[in-house]
Amino acid sequence: MLIGVLALQGAFREHQWSLEKCGAQTRQVRKPRELDGLDALVIPGGESTTMGKLLKDFDLMEPIKKLARAGMPVFGTCAGLIMLAKHIRNSTQETLALMDIEVERNAFGRQVDSFEVDLHMPWLGKTPYRAVFIRAPYITRVDNEVEVLARFNEKIVCARQGRFLVAAFHPELTDDLRLHRFFLNKIVNEQI
């Protein structure tokens, strides 16, 4: 299984390590041709306005949209979640617009830039999932087709729409591989 990790900015190396620990091969993606032959793509955290701009500058916006619409699974974390959303509250910034969700950026308030919490995600197993949030967004609205996978303080922080998976937190910054494994085993595997 070959998984691309968008490597324009942000925590892409950590995602590669997590994916490789799960047994997948990875490839950093900075050029359109580096999308060739991928089984899936991971979009890391970072800064979504910068990432959006870089996606356009590097001519990646349209090729990624096209592949994703044609069936490529995509996992977006934090800024990556924002990039997958069709709507961003109070913003017209361009995204890949793949999921029927509305998000709010920096939604937990500027005072609490980062924090860690134990999330209840029974579909990943009994042990709570330690989630690291860094200037995180949350999901404010979802369409019928979107499955809500986790909430924190009632706010939606993890969701899935078919082959698209998003988390408001950073699964690549802990040793818990369950979310990466879920993406590979339950989403990517079923697609190929």
What residue ranges bind ligand GLN (CB under 6 A)?
45-48, 78-79, 82, 105-106, 134-135, 137
Residue nearer to ligand GLN on the CB measure, 45 or 63: 45
Identity of the residue, 106 or 191, whose beta carbon is nearer to ligand GLN in the bound complex: 106
Nearest to 121 by CA among 159, 85, 84, 92: 159
Both structure tokens of 17:
């390590």
- Do you know the residue count of the chain? 192
| Dist. CA 105–CA 33, nearest whole Å | 31
172 has catalytic annotation: yes
Classify residue 154 by burial, with Cβ atoms within 10 Å: 0-12, 13-18, 19+: exposed
Q: How many angstroms separate the CA atoms of 99 and 160, rounded?
A: 9
CB of 36 to ligand GLN, least distance (A): 27
Measured from the CB atom, is 105 or 163 closer to ligand GLN?
105
- Told to judge if 78 belongs to the known catalytic residues of this protein, a careful annotator would answer yes
List the catalytic residue out of 14, 15, 104, 170: 170
Written as one letter, the residue type at 9 is: Q
**Closest CB 66 distance from ligand GLN, rounded Å:** 23
Which residue out of 78, 104, 158, 180 is catalytically annotated?
78
Shortest separation between residue 71's beta carbon and ligand GLN, angstroms: 26
CA 50/CA 37 separation, integer angstroms? 26
* Residue 180 among the catalytic residues: no
Residues recognised as catalytic: 78, 170, 172
